[in-house]
Chains A and B, each alone.
Chain A
Amino acid sequence: MTEPTLNKPGSGTVYTETVVYSPPEAYVNDVPYQLAIIELENGRRLTGRIDGERAQIGDHVSFVEFRNDVAFFRKNA
């Protein structure tokens, strides 16, 4: 997806996820971090980060904010 900043992605479901321990140079200070592909309500998928509580496949998540053009989501309570 090349235009993640055009619209706020809203909420969606975790299609798949991982927790990264071995980072690229740009994110050495972020590890461990959870990365996920979110299936949005409009059916499109977006790769973003999960903040806070760990999410699993099928969990519902909501968009929190963009940080440096990266979409951050949080697991719904």
Chain B
Amino acid sequence: MRPVAVVGIGKTAFGAFADRDLRSLAVEAGQKALEDAHAKTSQVEAFYLGNFAGPSFVGQNHLAPYVAAGMGIVGIPATRFEAACASSGAAFFHAVSAVAAGLYDIVLVSGVEKMTSQSTPKVTEILAGAGDLCGEVRAGATFPALFAMIARRHMYQYGTTREQMAAVAVKNHSNGAKNPLAHMRKVITMEQALAGKPIAEPLTVYDCSLISDGAAAVVIAPLERASEFTAKPVRVLGIAQASDNVALDEKEDITTFRAVKLSAGKAYKMAGLQPSDIQFAEVHDCFTIAEIIATEDLGFVKKGEGGPYALAGKTCLKGELPVNTSGGLKAKGHPVGATGVGQICDVAQQIRGEAGERQVTRDQLGLAQNLGGSGATSVVTILGAA
């Protein structure tokens, strides 16, 4: 297998854009990534698109060739990947696999979602399609409800508190306020986070990620060709995808995500690294409890210690392990299909030293963790300077 590098990154702003359609967002991100890589559209050998629910949100199917043609790219394989909120993480995993195997050299990988043209109950219903429609969803489960039940159990088993979860929200809002592409650039206090409107107890609106529009894209190439495109290649040191049961009530222990542990273990092994080697991470904080569990499942802290670790400020920009320097899904926004590739862009931006006032000093080794549903898909990627 050949080493693979990210040689171009491009993102739209994340937010609520009434005047933008799905394709224009995806085209903007793709063109920015190609421009960043100094690559021509004619050099792209395959297009991988992550999108969760374009057909439900905006009615459009056959999305990958539709988006590719919007960039003037036709003739090459163009395929959409769906893995709930890990859709573009999965697209990235399969694209890297294809380049590593020698199938292609230059590949464009994008993620996009256009969510804000629907009402919140409708969005809630579409997102619930990533759960088990014949069981938990029929009973009334929403994604906030599923993660609320995860939070309750984590609180029961490990003593995790609402303050510890709120600390994640406060930190991610603080980081997002410094990110020019973030959906919500607003600092919040602990008091505000705790007094938020209830969504699914114990989660308030401040524990939940945002409903956003947006797109992200990367250009990948074999490491040996990276210098043709960029002076700052970012190497994929380790990457793995794993799966688990879709229904929450079919998982033995809901306070941990088996697919995250499996994919993280494989990615660390591939990279020849330990969790303690990782210097910063973008993790899938669809809900504040998910960030706490991610720090545990990725091996940064022992099981049950994610909450105290967050409350102690260890994951802040100046903490020992900065987590979600972008603002995370909580503040940067969560256009679900764009999130996985968006995280790759955010980690690469830090490694390239282009994160502005969010730049962390020890910036050579970063991890991205993208979660689908209540843990049925996980993609973990470890990136470093080439």
The answer to whether A and B assemble together is: yes
Report B308 CB to chain A, min CB distance, Å.
21
Segment at the interface with A among B130-138, B186-194, B222-230: B130-138
CB of B140 within 8 Å of the partner chain? yes
Closest residue on chain B to residue A38 by CB atoms: B249
Q: Is the CB of B140 within 8 A of A20?
A: yes
A residues less than 8 Å from B200 (CB atoms): 18-22, 35
Q: Is the CB of B142 within 8 A of A16?
A: no
CB of A64 within 8 Å of the partner chain? no
When chains A and B are docked, how far (Å) is the Cα of A71 from the Cα of B197?
28
Known: A15-B153, A18-B148. A25 touches B122 (CB 8 A): yes
Binding site for B on A (CB under 8 A): 1-2, 4, 15-28, 30, 33, 35-37, 45-49, 57, 68-71
A residues less than 8 Å from B203 (CB atoms): 18
Q: Is the CB of B250 within 8 A of A45?
A: yes
Q: Is the CB of A37 within 8 A of B140?
A: no
Q: Is the CB of B152 within 8 A of A69?
A: no
Contact of B124 among A17, A23, A37 (CB under 8 A): A23
Question: What are 18 pairs between A and B in contact, CB < 8 Å?
Answer: A2-B132, A4-B135, A17-B152, A18-B149, A18-B152, A20-B200, A21-B198, A22-B199, A22-B200, A23-B124, A23-B142, A25-B121, A28-B121, A35-B139, A36-B149, A47-B249, A49-B140, A69-B138
When chains A and B are docked, how far (Å) is the Cα of A23 from the Cα of B121?
6
Q: Is the CB of B139 within 8 A of A47?
A: yes
CB of B316 within 8 Å of the partner chain? no
Contact of A26 among B125, B144, B247, B250 (CB under 8 A): B125
Contact of B140 among A1, A4, A35 (CB under 8 A): A35
A residues less than 8 Å from B144 (CB atoms): 20, 22
CB of B150 within 8 Å of the partner chain? yes
B residues less than 8 Å from A17 (CB atoms): 149, 152
A residues less than 8 Å from B156 (CB atoms): 16, 57
When chains A and B are docked, how far (Å) is the Cα of A35 from the Cα of B203?
14
Known: A16-B153, A16-B254, A23-B140. A35 touches B145 (CB 8 A): yes
Q: Is the CB of B125 within 8 A of A1?
A: no
Closest residue on chain B to residue A33 by CB atoms: B140
When chains A and B are docked, how far (Å) is the Cα of A21 from the Cα of B201?
8
CB of B248 within 8 Å of the partner chain? yes
* Extra A-B contacts (10), CB below 8 Å, given A70-B139, A71-B139: A2-B132, A16-B150, A20-B142, A21-B198, A21-B200, A23-B124, A23-B142, A24-B124, A24-B140, A70-B140
B residues less than 8 Å from A20 (CB atoms): 140, 142, 144-145, 148, 200
Most chain B CB within 10 A, of A17, A33, A47, is at A47
Closest residue on chain B to residue A14 by CB atoms: B152
CB of B323 within 8 Å of the partner chain? no
B residues less than 8 Å from A23 (CB atoms): 121, 124, 140, 142
Report A41 CB to chain B, min CB distance, Å.
15
When chains A and B are docked, how far (Å) is the Cα of A45 from the Cα of B197?
30
A residues less than 8 Å from B132 (CB atoms): 1-2
Q: Mark B197-227, 1 if CB is under 8 A from A, else 0.
A: 1111111000000000000000000000000
Q: Is the CB of B145 within 8 A of A18?
A: yes
Report B249 CB to chain A, min CB distance, Å.
4
